[in-house]
Structure 1
Amino acid sequence: MMKKPFNVIFEDNHLLVVNKASGVLVQGDKTGDKTLTDYCKDYIAKKYNKPGAVFLHPVHRLDRPVSGIVVFARTSKALERMTTLFRKREVHKVYWAVVKRKPPEEMAKLTHWLVKDSEKNVSKAYDTEVPDAKKSELGYKRMGKLNDHWLVELRPHTGRPHQLRVQLAAIGCPIRGDVKYGFAKPNPDGSINLHAFHLVFIHPIKKEKLFLRAALPEEPFWEQFLEFEQLKTGDRHLDQTFSG
């Protein structure tokens, strides 16, 4: 049975924020598979009985095998302002990843220069600047160990293609299931254990601060890490600190 492609986290006249299932494309590609944008447009059309075309645009992306928060704009004004927030790095992002190898430090900042190979759809990380590379910065913290795997909290300071995946692989800690970046075997459902867990930003129209949280996937491997989720419940300092 196919899992539900998304759950709604937040919704008003300006934004639709959903928790995306792994395996669902955010926007179309050469596969022609139905996208998260398509599913969400269907949802809006049905809920609000809209007969014509629905205005709905994602303001950022998640890779297909990744789960978690995706923000859509429901108006052109919201789209323009949210795009500006992301570009100015005024959206605070928190991800959780599961890795097999223990990250070398309890807390650290990673800096690499990434070069994307568009034909192969992979990025390569370099420790020093090289031609056509983009500087990529990522903070991480080890959250704890369960059954020979480590849960790591990630805070990207830049937004490069495959950044979290390639930067963790560059320190010898590929994400569980991510065979593209060196993990030994795929997950049975084709996912990787990377989840966009939190977003914090100022609402583009209402100017209120939003703390948005996407529950971990309802999947046995992820669910064993739920005990760490309690660390997040009262966290209102996401833009300054790590959890725990």
Structure 2
Amino acid sequence: MSQEHLSQIPILYEDNHLLGIVKPVNIPTQADVSGDPDLLSLLKDDIKVRFNKPGNVYLGLVHRLDRPVGGAMIFAKTSKAASRLSEAVRSRSFRKVYAAVVHGQMPAPRGTLRDMLLKDPKTNTVSVVNKGTPGAKEAVLDYEVLGTTGAFSLIRVELHTGRSHQIRVQMNQAGCPLYGDQKYGSRVNKPGQQIALWSVIASFPHPVTKEDVKLVSLPPAEHPWSLWNEAIYNRLKSE
């Protein structure tokens, strides 16, 4: 992604302490084995250019989005802000709300999913395991079905834990794999489909002023998101 393309990344919020943006899909949040340009490095370069900063630019990664996932994301521009935001994540005063399109219908219009998840770093995959499994961590999310059409459902998800691949794994475990998810839903998805998972809301107390900050980003109005009308679509960002 060139500097020209970087300028097209919408900035949702910015001050001396924070940078909130809309993460583009299919770009890694931070450098990985692919060697592809990553969001953290690109944003650092952008700050360096925009503010004419000499030397290294600090930008702290507070939370992550999987490479194929887009949407609202916050970065810290100071180490103090990074530390306080990380504490907000740990204390669960950092809210994360996502939109997902899944295959099939959920067992209830709304509910809570609790699973024990175990990550295999060798394959970068996560599986649901029995309680008491060494290394397993509890994953909790609330969901609400906003609409169903044909073979798909539009789901609003609020995360209470931030486990790797959590929504993807838990929805698949519930029998409703995400549209386009090649890793956990290959039996129902076609190669090349874009995963339908989007970070809609990231809200938290400002690390310095303590005022509430709320970043909001709606998914692009294209298939499969466009299967629902605008009124349902806009309910994704409602409280």
* TM-score, length basis structure 2: 0.90
The superposition leaves residues 119-156 of structure 1 with CA deviations (integer Å, 9 ceiling, x where unpaired) of 00000013544232111111111010235321001111
**Hey, what does 1:172 align to over in structure 2?**
175
Structure 2 residue corresponding to 1:89, chosen from 71, 92, 100: 92
1:30 paired with 2:29, answer: no
User: Distance between the aligned counterparts of 2:158 and 2:216, measured in 1?
Assistant: 14
Structure 2 residue corresponding to 1:105, chosen from 104, 108, 122: 108
1:199-238 superposed matches below 5 A: 199-217=202-220, 219-225=222-228, 227=230, 228-232=232-236, 235=238, 238=239
User: Distance between the aligned counterparts of 1:53 and 1:226, measured in 2?
Assistant: 46
- Summarize the Cα distance change of 1:187–1:149 in structure 2 as closer, same or farther, 3 Å threshold: farther
1:162-201 superposed matches below 5 A: 162-183=165-186, 184-186=188-190, 188=192, 191-201=194-204
Secondary structure of the residue aligned to 1:229 is: helix
1:8 paired with 2:11, answer: yes
User: Distance between the aligned counterparts of 1:48 and 1:224, measured in 2?
Assistant: 42
**Hey, what does 1:74 align to over in structure 2?**
77
* TM-score, length basis structure 1: 0.88
Aligned 8 A contact 1:113 1:133 in 2: yes
User: Distance between the aligned counterparts of 1:67 and 1:217, measured in 2?
Assistant: 10
Secondary structure of the residue aligned to 1:160 is: coil
Q: Per-residue deviation at 1:48?
A: 1.1
**Hey, what does 1:39 align to over in structure 2?**
42
The superposition leaves residues 82-103 of structure 1 with CA deviations (integer Å, 9 ceiling, x where unpaired) of 1111111110111000012111
- Summarize the Cα distance change of 1:88–1:111 in structure 2 as closer, same or farther, 3 Å threshold: same
**Hey, what does 1:242 align to over in structure 2?**
none
User: Distance between the aligned counterparts of 1:38 and 1:147, measured in 2?
Assistant: 41
Secondary structure of the residue aligned to 2:49 is: helix
User: Distance between the aligned counterparts of 1:63 and 1:167, measured in 2?
Assistant: 15
Count residues with an aligned counterpart.
234
- Summarize the Cα distance change of 1:124–1:94 in structure 2 as closer, same or farther, 3 Å threshold: same
- Summarize the Cα distance change of 1:129–1:156 in structure 2 as closer, same or farther, 3 Å threshold: farther
RMSD (Å), alpha carbons: 2.1
User: Distance between the aligned counterparts of 1:136 and 1:209, measured in 2?
Assistant: 26
**Hey, what does 1:21 align to over in structure 2?**
24
Unaligned 5+ runs, structure 2: none
User: Distance between the aligned counterparts of 2:15 and 2:150, measured in 1?
Assistant: 41
Secondary structure of the residue aligned to 2:162 is: coil
- Summarize the Cα distance change of 1:12–1:226 in structure 2 as closer, same or farther, 3 Å threshold: farther
Unaligned 5+ runs, structure 1: 239-244
User: Distance between the aligned counterparts of 1:129 and 1:214, measured in 2?
Assistant: 37
**Hey, what does 2:159 align to over in structure 1?**
156
Q: Per-residue deviation at 1:28?
A: 0.8
- Summarize the Cα distance change of 1:177–1:220 in structure 2 as closer, same or farther, 3 Å threshold: closer
Question: Percent same amino acid among aligned pairs?
Answer: 38
Aligned 8 A contact 1:21 1:217 in 2: no
Secondary structure of the residue aligned to 1:86 is: helix
User: Distance between the aligned counterparts of 2:219 and 2:226, measured in 1?
Assistant: 7
User: Distance between the aligned counterparts of 1:141 and 1:4, measured in 2?
Assistant: 35
**Hey, what does 1:241 align to over in structure 2?**
none
